[in-house]
Structure 1
């Protein structure tokens, strides 16, 4: 872990170069004395400031006291700058290559203008990052997906499951934000709530807040949950105990049945893959094969195994859709597609359907662009239905 944080600090320092170059250009253009030194000092300070939020991250400490909102705002603004410098570094390198080739081809027409280019790129990246940090990760989308379930009883036709995933309660995601999400979910009046893991980013300091907030979820047939990999970055068992005490059914490689007007469905939950707790065979062992099977699994990589075991619908999270996606075609064009086979949205395997939820919170940089937080309503039908 120490090596990881060293790499992060080195990366942060290197990424201040576009910021410093751009700032120097602006200051020099304004005739400010000592522009090179001021720009260099600003870059060094910006790199050093990373230690401020990371101290709380590493200590697993939430913001406290009357100044907590101001502290979070300051950290959000810093991370917007951090994300902007990261993006600007990549774009500046590309821009310099293009400008260099153009300058070699047309030396009299093309000027390198590194400072101006750096200022323009950093400025554009900062505007985008501010949107992603301050707005993009707060705006919650409600999405409804109609799913055809073979053998679904008439009593379950139109049955509505609300899925919430990857809350990542932590130093950048306060309790009051979770309360807002819970209120939004309750307003949808679902028949059942499915929670698909990663309630915390790491550690145990936020367990009480998570259980307390999620205890307010309401659904006719109850709230069901599985654990995610981040829930075990610390001790996950106390969180399981708190969730169960709050009235939430936590399924750990096990299944249960939900009944309505004489019809039934089986609901299975698979534990975490990363920490080698997942056991698909155990989760469905002894189930009634005549009943439709719906499975909750934090990691969508389990979809083929669950489909082979007869699951008609699998609900997952984990990928966040990369937190960066194209404004159009986000389920196809997103950062997560470079790392995961099942990265975003709906997938099919025979009669089985997988939905990969983009999650609610964030990990890494607290930013979402093109992949907003989402509460998904899965609407079940016995007949074939189209996606909406």
Structure 2
């Protein structure tokens, strides 16, 4: 028993240390979004997508290391969670808004943390909240729909309302914290891409197995779904086989 103890304790400590360090990684995943009919002024524009920040403080050194500055920034939900100081939330929002115009969609943990205070911080820094609504981006009299649904985990999403305010004949990028919104989508909705987070790619995967949908690019009948692994962690500050990430999405003509 003592021999087994001497073996298991250091192995466990090494594993926990690795899981903690994996959860603190800063990774930026570049992806190209090929869009049919993308107006010329949007060709080459970039969207920095970061979700599931939770308890982390976003690294300024990491943000400053990006080779290309983002034209637009999206917080894809779970900016915070219950128990996180609002001073930290405020600092994270400040760091992002210093680097470009910011858009936000609600995640399930944002509602737990105190939505009124979260909204006040976002409004202080002039963040555009996409609450079952569409913001029409305009560049040189050309347009792109940036649509955002409220959290589908709590059934606060209203897809019909979200899409009703789109500009006709302009491409659409749909933002949804929870990728389960895919169950309500079809090709007739004319959505070019859906960008989500929420799952943390499982956060802790045992031998690669997880009950949550893994991060990545998924092709579906309605179009393409992209799921980010997220930047932070929830419950435990640990990850295994699910490295954190944020996305740099580059728009290109198809």
Q: 1:297 deviation in Å?
A: 0.6
1:212-231, aligned counterparts within 5 Å? 212-218=91-97, 222-231=101-110
Q: Which moved more, 1:348-357 or 1:286-295?
A: 348-357
Q: Distance in 1 between matches of 2:157 and 2:65?
A: 28
**Structure 1 position 365 matched with structure 2 position 252:** no
Query: Whose helix fraction is larger, Structure 1's or Structure 2's?
Result: 1
Q: Distance in 2 between matches of 1:228 and 1:185?
A: 27
CA contact (8 A) 1:226 1:298 kept: yes
Of residues 111, 119, 126, the one that matches 1:247 is 126
Aligned pair count reads 253
Aligned to 1:339: 212
Determine if contact 2:78/2:109 at 8 Å carries over to the other structure: yes
Report the Cα distance in structure 2 between the residues aligned to 1:165 and 1:187, rounded to whole angstroms.
Answer: 20
Find the structure with the greater CA-based Rg.
1
CA distance in 2, matches of 1:283, 1:181: 35
Partner of 1:132: 19
- Aligned alpha-carbon RMSD (Å): 2.4
CA distance 1:209–1:339, shift in 2 (3 Å): closer
Alignment of 1:269 with 2:148, yes or no, is: yes
Taking structure 1 as reference, are residues 220 and 166 closer, same or farther at Cα in structure 2, changes over 3 Å only? closer
1:4-19 correspondence runs (5 A): none
Name the CA shift for 1:211/1:256 in 2 (closer, same or farther; >3 Å).
Answer: same
Relative distance call for 1:213 and 1:186 in structure 2 (3 A) is farther
Which of these residues, 187, 190, 203, is aligned with residue 323 of structure 1?
A: 203
Gaps of 5+ in 2: none
1 CA distance for matches of 2:111 and 2:67?
31
Please report how far the alpha carbon of residue 196 of structure 1 lies from its aligned counterpart in structure 2 after TM superposition.
0.4
CA contact (8 A) 2:133 2:165 kept: no
Match for residue 314 of structure 1 among 186, 189, 194: 194
1:161 pairs, out of 37, 47, 59, with: 47
Contact 2:171 2:192 in 1 (8 A): yes
Task: Give yes or no for contact 2:81–2:113 (8 Å, CA) kept in 1.
Answer: no
C-alpha distance in 2 between matches for 1:141 and 1:219 = 20
- The alpha-carbon distance between structure 1 residues 307 and 248, as it changes in their structure 2 partners (threshold 3 A), is farther
Cα displacement (A) at 1:364: 1.9
Judged with a 3 Å threshold, the aligned counterparts in structure 2 of structure 1 residues 366 and 274 are, in CA distance, closer, same or farther, namely: same
Instruction: Name the CA distance, whole Å, in 1 between partners of 2:166 and 2:9.
Output: 56
Of 249-258 and 150-159, more deviation after overlay is shown by 150-159
RCO higher in 1 or 2 (8 Å CA, sep ≥ 6)?
2
Cα contact 1:167–1:200 (8 A) shared by 2: yes
Match of 2:8 in 1: 121
Which ranges of structure 1 fall in alignment gaps of 5 or more residues?
1-20, 26-115, 327-332, 384-388
